[in-house]
């Protein structure tokens, strides 16, 4: 009997493979339903929706560290996690063998936001690590890596999809080894560890005192749904698409509006904003937003 633990869309192809290949997934553990969107609609996780469609039991503890005994009582042979969203308590890991599908090439980018930070950092390559789970965050022994190229046009959605498929395929390749325990494993080199902690609101902000590439990568890592943000004239502006301008040089925060295009100066470069959302208003392409807007003015500086 297998317990699968996951929550977002990233986890769905992995769970679907296990079901379709007839592995005995008898319990799915996922995060509690959450309120989503401006209308605060109570929404099930993508993993819960998939599990329900196959008639698999779903368990949604608010705090797994206080409510894990139910999993132990099921006496699973293996726990498989893929972007679950809570730390597995040591008491659970001591009782049940667990493996994780982590969205980076460990020991680089341990933590809850490895896909976002791969984009924030402008990496050209990342990957999936299949690993044993240990109580210390993402510190377990590694079973196998698979590399994934990051294209210039990738954002969080596209990279997450590529990594999800890579994780699915790697897990399928190694499932029999995992169940039999017939695999080689390798300890992580602690001297090479970097972190990608779960994002805070402040991590999602743009900083026009940095260069345009820094800000563009922040937008990529938060698109297409969350959006990067900055404050201007007492309102929050979210940015969902951008480009680095190679020909326009503006001082940090300086605004240039030209032919229905919006540029904001960065450190030695300019960032072209392509899609944005002013707080309380609709998300729009800039060419449409600039028709009749009164927020941005030519030559102003957002820091003044």
**Binding-site sequence positions for (6S)-5,6,7,8-tetrahydrofolate:** 104-107
- Label the pairing between strands 125-132 and 142-149: antiparallel
Tell me if 103 sits within 8 A of 83, measured CB to CB. yes
**3-state DSSP assignment of residue 202:** helix
- Which residues, 6 or more positions from 74, have their beta carbon under 8 angstroms from its beta carbon? 1, 3, 26, 27
Tell me if 80 sits within 8 A of 2, measured CB to CB. yes
- Report the distance separating Cα 63 and Cα 298, nearest Å: 50
How many Å separate Cα 198 from the centre of its chain?
A: 9
Tell me if 285 sits within 8 A of 275, measured CB to CB. yes
Q: Which residues are annotated as a binding site?
A: 104-107
Pure H helices in the chain = 12-20, 46-53, 69-73, 90-95, 114-120, 156-180, 212-221, 286-289
Q: Which of 284, 233, 286 is nearest to 262 (CA)?
A: 286
How many Å separate Cα 66 from the centre of its chain?
A: 26
């Amino acid at each position: 009997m297998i317990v699968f633990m996951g929550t977002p869309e990233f986890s769905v192809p992995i769970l679907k493979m296990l079901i379709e290949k007839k592995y005995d997934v008898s319990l799915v553990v996922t995060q509690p339903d959450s309120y989503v969107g401006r209308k605060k609609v109570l929404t099930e996780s993508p993993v819960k929706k998939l599990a329900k469609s196959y008639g698999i039991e779903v368990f949604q503890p608010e705090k797994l560290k206080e409510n894990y005994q139910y999993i132990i009582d099921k006496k699973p042979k293996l726990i498989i996690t893929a972007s679950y969203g809570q730390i597995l308590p040591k008491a659970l890991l001591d009782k049940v063998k667990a493996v994780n599908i982590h969205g980076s090439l460990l020991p680089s980018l341990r933590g809850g936001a490895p896909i976002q930070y791969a984009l924030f950092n402008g990496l050209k390559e990342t990957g999936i690590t299949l690993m044993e789970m240990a109580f210390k965050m993402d510190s377990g022994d590694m079973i196998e890596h698979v590399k994934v190229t990051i294209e210039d046009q990738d954002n969080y959605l596209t990279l997450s999809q590529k990594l999800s498929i890579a994780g699915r395929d790697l897990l399928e390749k190694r499932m029999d080894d995992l169940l039999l325990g017939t695999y080689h494993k390798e300890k992580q080199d602690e001297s090479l560890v970097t972190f990608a902690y779960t994002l805070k609101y402040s991590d999602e902000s743009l900083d026009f005192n940095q260069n345009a590439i820094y800000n563009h990568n922040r937008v990529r890592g938060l698109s297409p749904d969350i959006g990067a943000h900055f404050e201007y004239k007492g309102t929050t502006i979210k940015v969902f698409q951008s480009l680095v301008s190679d020909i326009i040089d503006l001082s940090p925060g300086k605004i240039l509006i030209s032919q229905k295009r919006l540029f904001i100066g960065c450190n030695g470069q300019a960032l072209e904003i392509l899609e944005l959302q002013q707080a309380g208003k609709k998300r729009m392409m800039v060419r449409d937003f600039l028709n009749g807007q009164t927020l941005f003015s030519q030559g102003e500086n957002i820091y003044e």
